[in-house]
A = this chain, B = another copy of it.
């Protein structure tokens, strides 16, 4: 059996991890995969990376197309990210009959169908375990181990940056800005934290998970997304008083009305397995009709954890190449479930309202909620010093549409200064 040759495009954080794992464990791969696997070609825009990583002379290029066109290469690893040139490289490699391993969540969440179709047409593998949850095995378990289930829901903490920030806010009462500054100082958040704190990173991941779990294509821009910017230390603390933890959850549920999919801060009971997933850790919670509740926990980011998943995929693809069974598990999106409108959501809501006249506001707000059929489970006045008081409402289960309509009117009341925060409460 000849050696399976692998080309690596993108020598950033995860790419360096892949180089490191190959250096340490190449001999083990032969034993596990039954075939020799060699990382032989490397591409990055930054010429300095070759020297930094001590790559063999002649193995590096700044032109990724060279790696893709190299006839000796069997598997291309794409670790550039984004949906621009990365898409071209992935489609180019597949078109040349090479299998592709990628960690690119944006690509798979946006052009997943195109990429899967291209792999199927070429009769090769496309693998993307690292695109969700870093090193946590979740895509393969869904496609293999849990395949006998109708998955009822898949939800998770899939962004380590925001989970770190929320953990710090909960543990030490930090406000949002301090938590962000700390995360940036520790290298857990980027200088521009938008993709993380506004929930887009999580939205891409849940689109990928939902597509697999429900066998129905969901793309990134179908995911209603709210980030954590509006959360205050008070919200986190009030949640704790009520026995809840606030997590940025990516949620996808199979419902009679279609796929309910969304990303937003969510209050979950402290006893739920997801509630104790803290710091930069991620976890994906899956409920299947046979298996019941399962959860997959681990490091959702970082060089070596993500590289662990990438190299795991490479070894699996190498097994398939060596045994002539590429394309063993392709796209299974053969259902076409509708995406349910977020307005159809039925859940409970935590609503913090800032008012200028607490005694006067209570009856008025209660009436507006009542007019829209929203029943209140609790009303607690939190502060009454200064010109504004803070009132926290928790509703019974109500429709998103009704709550939004009620809040639009509440906001117009003279005695209401502003709606502070609205957090959905899920009694999972």
Shortest beta-carbon distance, A30 to chain B, in Å?
10
- Report chain B residues within 8 Å CB of A297: 273, 293-297
- Report chain B residues within 8 Å CB of A129: 145
- Report chain B residues within 8 Å CB of A325: 320, 323-325, 328
- Report chain B residues within 8 Å CB of A298: 291-295
Beta-carbon contacts of A318-344 to B below 8 Å, as 1s and 0s? 011001110011001010000000000
Nearest residue in B to A215 (C-beta to C-beta)?
B31
Chain-B contact segment, one of A3-11, A195-203, A305-313: A305-313
How many of A's residues come within 8 Å of B, CB to CB?
A: 58
B309 touches A145 (CB 8 A): yes
Q: Tell me if A29 is interfacial: C-beta within 8 Å of chain B.
A: yes
B291 touches A308 (CB 8 A): yes
Shortest beta-carbon distance, A202 to chain B, in Å?
19
Beta-carbon contacts of A206-237 to B below 8 Å, as 1s and 0s? 00000000010000000000000000000000
Q: Tell me if A173 is interfacial: C-beta within 8 Å of chain B.
A: no
Q: Tell me if A137 is interfacial: C-beta within 8 Å of chain B.
A: yes
A308 touches B31 (CB 8 A): no
Q: Tell me if A112 is interfacial: C-beta within 8 Å of chain B.
A: no
Q: Tell me if A28 is interfacial: C-beta within 8 Å of chain B.
A: yes
Beta-carbon contacts of A16-36 to B below 8 Å, as 1s and 0s? 010001001100110111000
Q: Tell me if A290 is interfacial: C-beta within 8 Å of chain B.
A: yes
Q: Whole-angstrom distance between the alpha carbons of A334 and B31 in the complex? A: 8
Beta-carbon contacts of A135-155 to B below 8 Å, as 1s and 0s? 111001100111111100000
Q: Tell me if A299 is interfacial: C-beta within 8 Å of chain B.
A: yes
- Report chain B residues within 8 Å CB of A215: 31-32
Q: Whole-angstrom distance between the alpha carbons of A21 and B334 in the complex? A: 20
Q: Tell me if A119 is interfacial: C-beta within 8 Å of chain B.
A: no
A311 touches B148 (CB 8 A): yes
Within 8 A of B (CB), among A378-416: none
Shortest beta-carbon distance, A183 to chain B, in Å?
19
Add 13 more A-B contacts to A137-B145, A293-B299 (CB < 8 A): A25-B150, A137-B141, A144-B144, A144-B316, A146-B308, A147-B315, A148-B308, A291-B309, A292-B298, A294-B299, A320-B325, A325-B325, A325-B328
- A residues lining the B interface (CB < 8 Å): 17, 21, 24-25, 28-29, 31-33, 129, 135-137, 140-141, 144-150, 215, 273, 276, 281, 288-299, 302, 304-305, 307-309, 311-312, 314-316, 319-320, 323-325, 328-329, 332, 334
Query: What are 20 sample pairs from A and B whose C-beta atoms fall under 8 A apart?
Result: A24-B150, A137-B137, A137-B294, A141-B141, A146-B308, A148-B308, A148-B312, A149-B308, A289-B304, A290-B305, A292-B302, A292-B304, A294-B296, A294-B298, A295-B297, A297-B297, A319-B329, A320-B328, A323-B325, A324-B325
